[in-house]
Amino acid sequence: MSRLKQRRVPPNYELSTLIQMKIVFFGTDEFSIKALEACLHSGMELSQVVTTPPKKKGRGLKLESSEIFDYCQTKNIPVIEYPTLREAKVGQDLLARRPDIFVVASYGKLIPNNLLEIPKYRLNVHPSLLPKYRGSAPIHWPILNGDKETGVSIIDIAEKLDAGDIYCQERIAIDPRTDAAQLASELARFSYGILKKVLAQVKAGQLRGIPQNETEATLAPQLSKKDGEVSLTTMTAEVIDRKVRGLQPWPGAYCFIKNERIALLETDLPGATTSGKPGILLAIEKEGGIQLATHDGILKILKVKPEGKKSMPAADFVRGRHLTPGMILQN
């Protein structure tokens, strides 16, 4: 595999040439939309949008197109769905568009090296403070790990995953009660201004990158349904609460209560201590929540969803199963 060349603006590159620069954008989900809008508002030409084909979603496994495809359809933006980027025709199509810049934001597929050699610049919008959280779940893991801040990094695309030079990086605080879905929306909005700033630097011939510190690199590995399993008797309240918030909307946190699988949709940390045995139901609240004993204090469960049923207040669930304070919910 050939090493990708680092992109630098030649000193004599004419500004009049840069004004005509063309962008090919790669994106798939809702996070990508704000980055796409930054490209649309950059003063450059958006030559093509590349996204992934429809996928089966929901209980009916109905084929649904990507959020980027739907957005482009409503805005009359040229968009194409490639099942794979490794076919020769893909390279021919992209080369024919003579792009100066590839912008990638939550595309979901690796772009082969032969395609990355086409443009002068390759900009990857990554929602973490690289080199922390390289990988496919950089929004979820900061919440799961209890981090106080995160951010957006605009980087070059290198052979090694998310290891390219950093062109721009900005930080934001993580609200202690936010979930991954809310944080994704916040980071998407945040990415708009950062990407516009970087595209302006490209336009002005001022783009410069800083190598990442490999000794500080951490991974944000892909999540699976198994990652969502919660033990009410062995995990602390804080860990459970992080899972509930950090795994929204997928894969979601769940536990088993009396052998019934229950999705945990909303929890809270009242900050109270208890001498109760971990897993014991302490109280059923009039407001709809329940209080549960854990190793490090009380966990409040507000909303649950039994498998195959609608979501409901946790108090309604335990009453419907004739569970009362003093009972152990999970052995």
Residues 246 and 207 placed together within one structural domain of the fold: no
Residues 262 and 194 placed together within one structural domain of the fold: no
Q: How far is CA 76 from the centre of its chain?
A: 26
Q: Which domain holds residue 60?
A: 15-216
pLDDT digits (tens, 9 = 90+) for 80-103: 999 999 999 999 999 999 999 999
Identify the CATH number of the domain in which residue 315 sits: 3.10.25.10
Residues 212 and 239 placed together within one structural domain of the fold: no
What is this structure's pTM? 0.92
Identify the CATH number of the domain in which residue 74 sits: 3.40.50.170
Q: Does the pLDDT of residue 11 top 50, yes or no?
A: no
**Rounded Cα distance, 50 and 66, in Å:** 11
Residues 37 and 140 placed together within one structural domain of the fold: yes
pLDDT digits (tens, 9 = 90+) for 231-270: 999 999 999 999 999 999 999 999 999 899 999 999 999 9
Residues 38 and 88 placed together within one structural domain of the fold: yes
Residues 79 and 173 placed together within one structural domain of the fold: yes
Of the residues 196, 216, 236, the one at which a domain ends: 216
pLDDT digits (tens, 9 = 90+) for 113-128: 999 999 999 999 999 9
In a domain, 123, yes or no: yes
Q: Does the pLDDT of residue 280 top 60, yes or no?
A: yes
**Rounded Cα distance, 168 and 160, in Å:** 19
CB 165 within 8 Å of CB 155: yes
Residues 250 and 205 placed together within one structural domain of the fold: no
Residues 154 and 104 placed together within one structural domain of the fold: yes
Q: Does the pLDDT of residue 12 top 80, yes or no?
A: no
Residues 241 and 193 placed together within one structural domain of the fold: no
Q: Does the pLDDT of residue 184 top 70, yes or no?
A: yes
Q: Considering its fold, how many domains does the chain have in total?
A: 2
pLDDT band per the 50, 70, 90 thresholds, residue 74: very high
Tell me what pLDDT residue 264 has. 98
Element housing 3 (H / E) = none
Residues 209 and 258 placed together within one structural domain of the fold: no
In a domain, 63, yes or no: yes
Q: Does the pLDDT of residue 6 top 90, yes or no?
A: no
In a domain, 1, yes or no: no
- What mean pLDDT do residues 11-25 have? 65
> Looking at residue 286, what DSSP letter applies?
T
Of the residues 190, 216, 242, the one at which a domain ends: 216
CB 216 within 8 Å of CB 132: yes
CB 290 within 8 Å of CB 327: no
User: 45-51 and 55-57 as β-strands: parallel, antiparallel, unpaired?
Assistant: unpaired
Residues 139 and 282 placed together within one structural domain of the fold: no
pLDDT digits (tens, 9 = 90+) for 285-310: 999 999 999 999 999 999 999 999 99
Residues 207 and 233 placed together within one structural domain of the fold: no
Of the residues 216, 233, 267, the one at which a domain ends: 216
Tell me what pLDDT residue 58 has. 73
Tell me what pLDDT residue 38 has. 98
pLDDT digits (tens, 9 = 90+) for 136-168: 999 999 999 999 999 999 999 998 999 999 999
